[in-house]
Amino acid sequence: MQVAYAEAAAAEAELLITEARLIAARQAQADIDRRVKSARDPLFAGSRADMMTAQAEIARDQARDRAHNARAALARFWSGQPDFRLALEPFFDAKAPVVPSMFTTPDFALLEAERNIALANIRVEQARAVPDPTLRAGVRYLGDGANVAFVVGGTIPLRRNDTNRAAIERAQAERTAAEADIAAARLTREREIAQLTVRISAAAAEAERIRAEVIPPAIRSVEQVREGFNRGGFQYLDVTEAERALAEARARRVSVLRQYHVERAALDRLTGRHAGISSSTSNAERR
């Protein structure tokens, strides 16, 4: 579900970017129309503005369809409909992960359960190797009279050649294999957690730097170029280039944040971050 949320939130953010670019294209188209009517720009400048606006509308419509489909995929987790608003604040809140020192996951719980079963099998097979004495007791009538006797007897198997050694060794081998699986899984998990932590921290840092260091200058550039364009100091292509640079910076941030949340979902699975929530939900559904 975390991955589905990341996809849906990224699609919503991309839709916002395309809508902002369409607004800018329409504004530039209106400015060009005024300049063409006043003979300050040639006719082909108006045609180019019309083309840019049409392309922006197509991109917006495609982004709208992707956002709808992503919301539909997310809504399937609760059998809902895609006509809901998605809060984007958690999507843009990217921080370096903090990995807990102690945690458990369903995968490890299963491996530990298999090891415990192997330990129990060892005790069972060892118990079977011990001779099991059998005791009998009863009452016997003597002859035709009323005399009775209390009889007690028993047997103890010698089992000189049957010590159940093979079964014990097989159970011990199963325990050793289970412990080896746990050790290997632990090493693999620790390596994956380390790699994910590095990538998530790098993505969070990049997203923050784009927000603080790239997008503000890009916004100022658009404002300055548009102001100069209105005074006749820049061409329409300068405006579209500035708008394109701003849109690409925003799109890059969304792409980085999407990858951040996908990697974060993988890390949460490895550390069992939501295992308790899942268990509580399952218990509540059973009740």
- At 114, is the pLDDT very low, low, confident or very high (cuts 50, 70, 90)? confident
**Could you count the other beta carbons within 10 Å of the beta carbon of residue 92?**
13
- The pLDDT-based confidence of 163 (bands split at 50, 70, 90) is low
Sign of CA dihedral 220, 223, 225, 231: negative
For the chain, the average pLDDT equals: 83
pLDDT of residue 154: 64
Model confidence at 208, pLDDT cuts 50, 70, 90, reads very high
DSSP string spanning 119-181? HHHHHHHHHHTS---EEEEEEEE-TTSS-EEEEEEEE----SS---HHHHHHHHHHHHHHHHH
Q: How far apart are the first and last CA of the chain?
A: 23
| Domains with residue ranges and CATH for the chain | 2-103+196-286 (1.20.1600.10)
Say if CB 16 and CB 68 are below 8 A apart.
Answer: no
Q: Residue 42 gets which letter from DSSP?
A: -
Q: What is the pLDDT of residues 223-250, one digit of tens each?
A: 999 888 888 778 888 888 999 999 999 9
Torsion sign, CA atoms 62, 64, 70, 76: negative
pLDDT at 264: 93
Least confident interval from 80-84, 92-96, 282-286: 282-286
pLDDT tens digits along 165-198:
787 788 888 888 888 888 887 888 888 888 999 9
- Split at pLDDT 50, 70, 90, the class of 283 is very low
pLDDT in tens, 123-133: 887 777 666 66
pLDDT of residue 161: 54
- 33-87 pLDDT, tens digit per residue, is 888 888 877 888 888 889 999 999 999 999 999 999 999 999 999 998 988 888 8
pLDDT of 146: 67
Instruction: Give residue 286's pLDDT band: very low, low, confident or very high (50, 70, 90).
Output: very low
Quote the pLDDT of residue 236: 81
Determine the length of the chain: 287
